[in-house]
A = this chain, B = another copy of it.
């Protein structure tokens, strides 16, 4: 079982890729900051100041402006793999696709976990679109649980 989300962003793939790997830019639409620039083989600590929370991701693979693959949840014993791909549909338009794998089909909480996960990705990707297309960086951190 996996979760897939796709959104169109009116920006070149390179600009969107940069918004993921730059540890300052990420603060405009997702986590508040990252410990360093994302690169293949690196472990990056992503921090949510608002929730006083943080977690590590392990960057498994990266092709500049095309693809990022990372693992999270390793330390918690529930590793999930996230693949982000950047499909340029024109020089100025890109479809960003996020696929998360690692859900356990036998988990009694599978449905709420999948739904929560979908909520997070759709929210982040819409905030990313708002940031890159319109310079709005105050959409993030608004979901209420």
Contact = CB atoms under 8 A, between A and B. Distances in A.
23 contacts: A3-B115, A5-B119, A7-B142, A7-B143, A9-B142, A95-B144, A97-B144, A110-B111, A111-B111, A114-B115, A118-B118, A119-B122, A122-B122, A122-B123, A126-B127, A126-B130, A126-B142, A129-B142, A130-B130, A130-B139, A133-B138, A134-B138, A136-B136
Determine how many copies of this chain the complex contains. 2
Contact of A114 (B97, B111, B127): B111
Contacts of A5: 119, 143
A8 interface: yes
A97 to B, nearest CB: 8
